[in-house]
């Protein structure tokens, strides 16, 4: 058996004891957010990313070991398992290696090789391989295998059958496949061209999308992930024809040298012919599929990482707290839906207005909007960025300007709002409203608290990725769910206001327990302390341990319940406060005293005195400094606008503030307040070389940008932050 903790530790450059502790914690049912925050002493302070890497590698190696057992059993049942083969399989660290070793023993469909064996030609093939210096009559030897009953009518047919068997043996050689795979990956070019149209005169509606790939060729090592995904999509859409191109001579020589032990043989011409046949007919088509599959997998993972990074930044956007918000879901024919929510997110009133074509009831719409703004003292108007968004922006900006209002507006992504509107959750929240009237409430709440609202929507529908519908959907869902879990537990949850959707993502909870928490709250009233969680149906000691530290209770019985300090550390925290002479009801004022105390005594001494580990003590002190703190408060607030800008108003050299809406491989899309987001190309991000935009940019970043190009016809704006 392989040493799993040792392998993972070596791969991830961490200590073996750290990996062992993490694996043990996983076995005990501990979640990654819980381990990262509350078990730092055991793991040596591994963060969430490292813990997820350990989890991923552990899952992979577990699957690998299970596959090895299945393969070893299959080969053993065939009576072909040698000690050497067993050692090769058991010592393999990659699934591909194991599958290559299994290939000669894998049950096969009918092939030219199996047909030749059925005709009794395997001994002839082995004779050719085992007698390199044969100097007898080879024609006579082949004649021995002529058998009319078995379908071998001539020496030519006998030789061809032997060649077919040898070609298959070459193709099933694990080392040959490895050599060929590496050669293709390192030297091949991917080439794409426009596919032939099925019908003469048909119009290619995707021309603008795929035009750059109509005559495209690039070496695999230089191929970018987004190019792989674009080419794959073009091929799927039957717009592109794609293949890998290689120089065959060198790889044929490599295969010949790898598979055939002898350097000289009277049958060398047969070896060369079978090598060429094996490569073109069996090896290369298979390896080409493998390599393209591998490229797609790498591109998928890359695209998923970008989507996940963008999603994380979007979820962690700072809330616009303590404001009255109007949400508008713009539209033309069906009108624009307007909703008012208060500072807690409660829906107050809603209307449908028709300020745009075809109705053009602009004056009536303006009267309704103005009346709502004045009635509810609206501070901010959130406008969805879909159909009629910019027209609605002009409409609202005119109302603000004409009436001298102090309120502002902001364009909010409405991606997924329609999905939410029609969901069972939305029906449960607003049973009296039609689906079309729920999206505007979601848009308004996204401004009030992005995280609390966006967790109600399938992360794939939020729309901050590139090619998200093309990538492996199972991997994407897992990654995005991990991001949501991470964000929810990083921010923490108000136990008395959180929805079932939000509670479901809390460490240790599931949908059933989350529903029971809300039911308990509705029947028993607000939670006054964390210990009451144990009265919730289905929430036992284990779930309490995993969840309690992330569930906050502002203005509860115990001030510590509004911090990330875990109940298991309360006695140590109280002891620390006693040392500092700070009463429990004054912990909001304890930051200076605790910091001063910690500065006069070593952390290790204090930790020993109150019986906690040093990492836990450091976390306790940080939480006492800012009890109830929302970590999102430190991030830059979104840009609020009161006037509108048209693309015609822009000039090259103009400097503006913009908000990063999406980060992709080749740069970022930035909202500068006009109809179209500007493109900040990767080459324009900084005065130095930037390999990956995610290294320097995040969704939600506020940037000072310079306009360096405007294409009015295509509605394209080029931006730069160099020297900005």
Q: pLDDT tens across 325-382, in order?
A: 999 999 999 999 999 999 989 999 999 999 999 999 999 999 999 999 999 999 999 9
Measured CA to CA, the distance from residue 470 to residue 230 in angstroms comes to 9
Give me the pLDDT at residue 436, please.
85
The residues near 525 (Cβ < 8 Å, ≥ 6 apart) are: none
CATH number of 325-448: 3.30.420.140
pLDDT, tens digit (0-9, with 9 covering 90-100), for 257-312: 999 988 889 999 999 999 999 999 999 999 999 999 999 999 999 999 989 998 99
Give me the pLDDT at residue 208, please.
67
Query: Could you give the 3-state DSSP secondary structure of residue 321?
Result: coil
- Name the average pLDDT for the chain: 92
Measured CA distances, 631 to 185, 264, 318, 624 (Å): 45, 72, 9, 14
CATH number of 112-302: 1.10.3500.10
Provide CATH 1.10.3500.10 ranges for the chain. Answer: 112-302
Going by pLDDT thresholds of 50, 70 and 90, the confidence category of residue 465 is low
Give me the pLDDT at residue 288, please.
96
Give the HSE-up count for residue 244: Cα atoms under 13 Å, Cβ half-sphere. 27
Interval 483-493 mean pLDDT: 96
Q: Is the pLDDT of residue 660 over 80?
A: yes
Give me the pLDDT at residue 402, please.
95
Give me the pLDDT at residue 202, please.
45
Going by pLDDT thresholds of 50, 70 and 90, the confidence category of residue 633 is confident
Measured CA to CA, the distance from residue 100 to residue 290 in angstroms comes to 12
- The proportion of the chain whose per-residue pLDDT surpasses 70, expressed as a percent, equals 98
Measured CA to CA, the distance from residue 309 to residue 303 in angstroms comes to 10
- The proportion of the chain whose per-residue pLDDT surpasses 90, expressed as a percent, equals 78
Burial string for 682-719 (b: 16+ CB within 10 Å, else e) reads bebbbeeebeebbebbbbbbebebbbbebeeeeeebbb
Highest average pLDDT, of 353-357, 575-579, 670-674, comes from 353-357
Going by pLDDT thresholds of 50, 70 and 90, the confidence category of residue 200 is very low
pLDDT, tens digit (0-9, with 9 covering 90-100), for 427-446: 999 999 998 889 999 999 99
SS (H, E, C) 244-294: EECCHHHHHHHHHHHHCCCCCCCCHHHHHHHHHHHHHHHHHHHHHHHHHHH
Provide CATH 2.40.50.140 ranges for the chain. Answer: 647-720
Q: Is the pLDDT of residue 201 over 50?
A: no
Going by pLDDT thresholds of 50, 70 and 90, the confidence category of residue 715 is confident
Between β-strands 667-671 and 655-664, what pairing exists: parallel, antiparallel or unpaired?
Answer: antiparallel
pLDDT, tens digit (0-9, with 9 covering 90-100), for 136-169: 999 999 999 999 999 999 999 999 999 999 999 9
Range name among 162-166, 207-211, 389-393, 463-467 with the lowest pLDDT average: 463-467
Interval 232-254 mean pLDDT: 95
Domain 4-105 has CATH 1.20.200.10: no
Measured CA distances, 410 to 380, 529, 547 (Å): 8, 38, 35
- Partners of 664 in the beta sheet? 667
Going by pLDDT thresholds of 50, 70 and 90, the confidence category of residue 467 is confident
Measured CA to CA, the distance from residue 27 to residue 551 in angstroms comes to 24
Provide CATH 3.30.420.140 ranges for the chain. Answer: 325-448
- pTM for the model stands at 0.86
Going by pLDDT thresholds of 50, 70 and 90, the confidence category of residue 700 is confident
**Nearest Cα to Cα of residue 666 among 299, 296, 226, 228:** 226
Give me the pLDDT at residue 589, please.
73
Range name among 6-10, 461-465, 474-478 with the lowest pLDDT average: 461-465
Going by pLDDT thresholds of 50, 70 and 90, the confidence category of residue 209 is confident
Retrieve residue 628's tokens. Answer: 């109830």
Query: Is the CA virtual torsion 137, 138, 139, 142 positive or negative?
Result: positive
Interval 508-518 mean pLDDT: 97
Going by pLDDT thresholds of 50, 70 and 90, the confidence category of residue 537 is very high
CATH number of 647-720: 2.40.50.140
Provide CATH 1.10.10.650 ranges for the chain. Answer: 4-105
Measured CA to CA, the distance from residue 315 to residue 337 in angstroms comes to 24
Give me the pLDDT at residue 643, please.
79
Going by pLDDT thresholds of 50, 70 and 90, the confidence category of residue 416 is confident
């Amino acid at each position: 058996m392989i040493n799993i903790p040792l392998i993972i530790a070596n791969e991830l450059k961490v200590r073996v004891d750290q990996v062992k502790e993490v694996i043990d914690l996983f076995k005990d049912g501990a979640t990654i957010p819980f381990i990262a925050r509350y078990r730092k002493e055991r793991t040596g302070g591994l963060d969430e990313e490292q813990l997820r890497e350990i989890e991923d590698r552990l899952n992979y190696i577990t699957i690998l070991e299970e596959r090895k057992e299945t393969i070893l059993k299959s080969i053993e049942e065939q009576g072909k398992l040698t000690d050497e083969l067993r050692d090769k399989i058991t010592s393999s660290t990659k699934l591909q290696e194991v599958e290559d070793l299994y290939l000669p023993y894998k049950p096969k469909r009918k092939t030219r090789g199996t047909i030749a064996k059925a005709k009794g030609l395997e001994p002839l093939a082995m004779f050719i391989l085992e007698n390199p210096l044969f100097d007898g009559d080879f024609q006579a030897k082949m004649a021995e295998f002529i058998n009319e009953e078995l379908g071998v009518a001539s020496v030519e047919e006998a030789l061809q059958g032997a060649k077919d068997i040898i070609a298959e043996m070459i193709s099933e050689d694990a080392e040959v496949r490895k050599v060929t795979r590496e050669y293709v990956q390192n030297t091949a070019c991917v080439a794409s061209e426009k596919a032939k149209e099925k019908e003469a005169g048909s119009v290619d509606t995707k021309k603008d999308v795929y035009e750059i790939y109509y005559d495209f060729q690039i070496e695999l090592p230089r191929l970018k992930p987004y190019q792989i995904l674009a080419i794959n999509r073009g091929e799927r859409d039957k717009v592109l024809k794609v293949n890998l191109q290689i120089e065959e001579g060198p790889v044929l020589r490599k295969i010949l040298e790898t598979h055939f032990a002898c350097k000289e043989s009277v049958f060398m011409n047969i070896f060369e012919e079978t090598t060429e046949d094996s490569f073109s007919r069996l090896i290369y088509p298979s390896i080409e599929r493998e390599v393209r599959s591998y490229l797609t997998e790498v591109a998928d993972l890359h695209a998923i990482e970008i989507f996940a990074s963008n999603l994380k930044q979007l979820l962690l956007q700072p809330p616009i707290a303590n404001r009255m918000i109007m949400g508008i879901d713009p539209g033309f024919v069906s009108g624009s839906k307007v909703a008012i929510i208060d500072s807690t997110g409660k829906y107050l009133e809603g209307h449908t207005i028709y300020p745009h074509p075809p109705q053009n009831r602009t004056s009536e719409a303006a009267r309704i909007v103005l009346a709502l703004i004045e009635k509810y003292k609206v501070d901010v108007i959130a406008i969805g960025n879909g159909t009629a968004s910019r027209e609605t922006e002009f409409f609202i900006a005119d109302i603000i300007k004409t009436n001298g209002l102090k309120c502002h507006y902001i364009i909010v992504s409405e991606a997924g709002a329609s999905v939410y509107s029609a969901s069972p959750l939305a029906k449960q929240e607003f049973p009296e409203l039609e689906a079309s009237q729920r999206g505007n409430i979601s848009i308004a709440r996204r401004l009030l608290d992005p995280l609390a609202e966006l967790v109600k929507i399938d992360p794939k529908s939020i729309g901050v990725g590139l090619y998200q519908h093309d990538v492996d959907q199972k991997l994407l869902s897992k990654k995005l769910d991990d991001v949501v879990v991470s964000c929810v537990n990083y921010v923490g949850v108000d136990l008395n206001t959180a929805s079932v959707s939000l509670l479901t993502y809390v460490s240790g909870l599931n949908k059933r327990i989350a529903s029971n928490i809300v039911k308990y709250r509705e029947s028993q009233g607000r939670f006054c302390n964390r210990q009451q969680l144990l009265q919730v149906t289905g929430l036992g000691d284990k779930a309490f341990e995993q969840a309690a530290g992330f569930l906050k209770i502002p203005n509860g019985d115990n001030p510590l319940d509004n911090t990330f300090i875990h109940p298991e550390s309360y006695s140590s925290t109280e002891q620390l406060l006693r040392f500092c002479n700070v009463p429990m009801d004054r912990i909001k004022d304890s930051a200076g005293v605790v910091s001063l105390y910690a500065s006069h005594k070593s952390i290790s001494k204090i930790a020993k005195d109150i019986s906690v580990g040093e990492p836990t003590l450091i976390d306790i002190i940080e939480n006492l400094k800012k009890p109830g703190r929302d970590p999102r408060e430190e991030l830059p607030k979104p840009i609020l606008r009161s006037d509108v800008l048209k693309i015609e108003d822009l000039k090259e050299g103009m400097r503006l503030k913009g908000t990063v809406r999406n980060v992709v491989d080749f740069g970022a899309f930035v909202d500068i307040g006009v109809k179209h987001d500007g493109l900040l190309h990767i080459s324009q991000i900084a005065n130095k070389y930037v390999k990956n935009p995610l290294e320097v940019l995040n969704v939600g970043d506020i940037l000072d940008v310079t306009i360096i190009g405007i294409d009015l016809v295509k509605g394209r704006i080029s931006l730069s932050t160099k020297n900005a």
